[in-house]
């Protein structure tokens, strides 16, 4: 139920903001707006402001919306109102009205990111967990427990790192841009620092998923190797493990943190999917105990992974990231630009085959993340709304004839040549745009089903 409500609220808000952008600029340009609709299908609510020619409508299917303006191409227009019709407006006004929808979504994203920056958010400190074995981070000399003070493309362009999530975002940008990343790290906050270069430019990045961070080797913040809640009937309970036990070693291998302990548990399966016994050395209330633990194998994709039926790893140390009025707003603008540019870059790479179309997501994935983000709290939900708002704004600016970007493409042609696109070509381009858009939606929906089934 939470997923459905969060999804409907998100769609309704983002669509309303998008259409309001069109509406507000149309009115400012002197165009008569006949209807402002959020959703399609049967009207659930209809109202009209006193003295306004616009009918406002909320419909049953919240998967889109529209602003219907007076236009001679759609219906006959009285001569006395011809100056109020959209098609009679100068080119700059028509372009501004069309561009206002995506612009409203991008401005909303700036406002949402800024609101989070101003209010503050709790995020893990930028302390690294043990890197994945054989990863770029391990090869570069990281061992886990390092505090990351700065990060950037090179020594001359380093910037402070606020949190682990901040570092993760920068790594994502660098990897998808095929750029190396330099980290300035120390064994403790404020301690002697050294530089570590992660050669991300050599990664073959086709999908922006969890496997990307496995290759990089930075998959989570540092946590203590502590056993949390133990589930009845699980391997941990059978071995006599208790919540609060600190694991010092597994089969003689030192366990520096929760990340390494989870990796050792996952690897405790044989080629036929059988569980492999491990000897754990744990600290319990000042006593050191040796316990035999046999993880239970679980199928995950094409491989078997071990599970012990317990929460592994203490909660990471958190830090409050908060910015002042000006800095928070500027960071909101920067984050909106970064997400927009990264989205366009990924779309471009998909077109030329350098990125997988599996990166496309549809309504099912969006609904799933809407519910998950809402369950984590208002801040997570706001950040989700900001991300989807950017995506909606960027998507609508693509030069597909059925989207706002397609209409802007027509106006660019008109501005360069001095004449509008002919009706024949308009119809052909519209049909082609519908085919492309339907193909993209089909791929996105297929990816949704595959993710949820997996």
Q: Which residues are catalytic?
A: 19
Give the bridge partners for 196, in sequence order: 183
Give the bridge partners for 305, in sequence order: 298
For residue 74, the 8-state DSSP code is: T
Q: Cα–Cα distance between 242 and 166 in angstroms, integer? A: 34
Largest CA distance in the chain: 92
The single residue listed with the structure tokens 């592994």 is 312
Task: Locate 28 and state its tokens.
Answer: 């400012």
Q: Cα–Cα distance between 222 and 146 in angstroms, integer? A: 9
Give how far the C-alpha of residue 392 lies from the chain's centroid of Cα atoms, to the nearest Å: 12
Which phi and psi (to 5°) does residue 344 adopt? -65, -40
Q: Cα–Cα distance between 253 and 176 in angstroms, integer? A: 35
Task: Locate 265 and state its tokens.
Answer: 């548990």
Strands (E), 286-421: 287-293, 296-300, 303-307, 310-312, 318-321
Q: Cα–Cα distance between 211 and 217 in angstroms, integer? A: 9
Task: Locate 226 and state its tokens.
Answer: 């502590």
């Amino acid at each position: 139920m939470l997923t459905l409500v969060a999804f409907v609220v998100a769609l309704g808000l983002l669509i309303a903001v998008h259409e309001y952008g069109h509406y507000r600029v149309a009115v400012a340009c002197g165009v008569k707006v006949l209807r402002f609709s959020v959703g399609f299908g049967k009207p659930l609510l209809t109202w009209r402001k006193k003295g306004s020619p616009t009918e406002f409508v909320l419909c049953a299917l919240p998967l889109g919306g529209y602003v219907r303006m007076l236009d001679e191409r759609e219906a006959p227009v009285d001569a006395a109102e011809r100056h109020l019709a959209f098609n009679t407006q100068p080119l700059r006004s028509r372009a501004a009205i069309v561009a206002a929808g995506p612009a409203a979504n991008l401005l909303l994203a700036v406002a949402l990111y800024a609101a989070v920056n101003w209010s503050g958010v709790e995020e893990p400190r930028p302390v690294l967990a043990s890197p994945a074995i054989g990863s770029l981070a391990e090869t570069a000399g990281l061992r886990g427990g390092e505090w990351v003070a700065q990060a950037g493309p090179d020594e001359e362009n380093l910037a402070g790192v606020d949190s682990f999530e901040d570092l993760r975002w920068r790594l994502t940008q660098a990897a998808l841009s095929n750029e190396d990343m330099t980290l300035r790290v120390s064994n403790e906050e404020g301690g002697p620092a050294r530089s570590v270069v992660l050669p991300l430019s050599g990664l073959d990045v086709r999908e922006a998923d969890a496997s990307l961070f496995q290759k990089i080797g930075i998959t989570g913040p540092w946590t203590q190797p502590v056993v949390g809640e133990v589930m009845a009937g699980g391997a941990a309970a059978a071995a006599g493990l208790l919540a609060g036990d600190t694991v010092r070693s597994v089969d003689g291998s030192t366990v520096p943190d929760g990340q390494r302990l989870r990796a050792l548990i996952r690897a405790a399966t044989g080629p036929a999917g059988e569980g492999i016994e491990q000897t754990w050395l744990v600290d319990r209330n000042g006593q050191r105990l040796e316990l035999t633990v046999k993880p239970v194998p679980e199928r995950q994709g094409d491989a078997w992974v071990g599970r012990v039926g317990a929460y592994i790893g203490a909660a990471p140390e958190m830090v409050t990231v908060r910015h002042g009025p000006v800095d928070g707003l500027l960071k909101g603008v920067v984050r909106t630009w970064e997400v927009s540019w990264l989205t366009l870059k990924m779309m471009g790479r998909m077109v030329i085959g350098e990125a997988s179309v599996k990166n496309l997501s549809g309504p099912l994935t969006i609904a799933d993340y809407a519910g998950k983000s809402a369950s984590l709290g208002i801040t997570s939900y706001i950040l989700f709304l900001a991300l989807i708002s950017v995506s909606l704004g960027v998507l609508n600016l693509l030069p597909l004839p059925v989207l706002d970007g397609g209409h802007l493409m027509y106006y660019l042609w008109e501005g360069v040549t001095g004449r509008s696109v002919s009706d024949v070509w308009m119809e052909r381009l519209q049909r082609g745009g519908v085919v492309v858009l339907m193909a993209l939606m089909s791929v996105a929906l297929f990816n949704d089903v595959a993710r949820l089934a997996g």
